[in-house]
Structure 1
Amino acid sequence: MRPAVPTISCTAHRSRSTPVAWPGHHAFADGGHLRRRGPDDHREDRQRHRQLHLRRHRRRRFDPPDHRQGRPRPVLNAGIGGNRVLSDSACFGQKATTRFRHDVLDQTHVGTVIVLEGTNDILMGETAPNACTTTSRRVTAAELIEAHRALIRAAHARGITVIGATLPPGNGLESGTPAETRAALNQWIRTAGAYEAVVDFDRVLADPLNPEQLLPAYASKDGLHPNDAGYRAMADAVNVDSL
């Protein structure tokens, strides 16, 4: 995700539906693959939010090839760095359960949405509140699961397919309550059958020798965000035919 545009209206190839990338923390779709975002990107995001009065509709279009028809397909990016499922933020925008309507449901010709949400709720619930996280509180897996169910119900009511993404590991999530919450949410995403399909970013990015951490080849310096190779592995994990 670079220059922002307020909205995208997809009028070409009406027979093909538009996927939406809906990540709240780790990545956004750009140029046909996923690219790294680290702490510097999030600081820039916060400054941009303040300057533009929470301009949350930072959406980009890219055109990955449609392998079945040999032509590009539009994808909408609806990701906001730092965004949470259950809490609004003065820096990171409205909670996902609120902004889902405008950023996904009200967009033109959306057929599929990929949901990657929950990491920030878990992490920020373990830190002292500040100007950006004044509503921080410890969340439970049950609360996150119910929020995911709400997103799924809203999408299905509009005839939109929903793909769930498991939360990758990383620093701050490796032990205690954060690890337990992430594991419980991921297990539900994998096994509950609530999502039409699942992309398992946890297993794609985890170090087999230390599953609570990112594979070193995929980890950025902070140990939480993937590097470029990690984001490319995430992109490669998405089955284009499921979009």
Structure 2
Amino acid sequence: MLEIKNLEAYYGNSRALQGINLKIETGKFMAVLGRNGVGKTTLFKAILGLMDRCGGEIALGGDRLDQMPTYKRAHAGIGYVPQGRGIIPTFTVRENLKMGTFARTGNGSKTYDDLVFEIFPVLREFLDRQGGNLSGGQQQQLAIGRALLTNPKIILLDEPTEGIQPNIVEQIEQAIMTLNKVHGITIILVEQDIDFARRASDSFVIMEKGRVVAEGPIKSLTDNLMHKHMAV
């Protein structure tokens, strides 16, 4: 589904990613782990074409994306749920969801339109409420729903449970797993909750200082490996 070769990314003249190589197959779930500030969010921005400068190759379904502008990468099938959710607070829930449909190509398929409300019924209840008046958990559900309405082949999720009240975290985690396990959407997850990463993922990578320093099937993510690369 997604293949990255020798990816480098820069903020100005400062290199933030160095020689990243990773591959995720269709329908699989990958966790990207590491301490704060090691390049996890930067990796997502590089995949989306949001960095000042990048080198290397990015391919989705065998088609090269690395020379495309961000909107064409979205059209190609990359959905994104940014850290902090990125909803527009003065837009209603309905309007925020509508933003997701702009990434569809042509007339756009309605494949996931009903699924958004099936997974997140609260969004149907609050369609005319401004996004800024939702709780943190509701905003996160809205951000995931908006990404789903792009009709993605793959969704990049950047710390989707961060700052969410505990009683909503389980709902969001279950929704993410349903999108992957039931509906076959490929997912790459940046997450600090290692227990969730272990439950949901098929594979993992660990990053340090803009590099991948460990990777493998999720069953090989041992406590010793976590302590070596992620202990504060």
TM-score (norm 1): 0.35
TM-score (norm 2): 0.36
Larger RCO (CA within 8 A; separation ≥ 6): 2
Query: Which has a greater percent of strand?
Result: 2
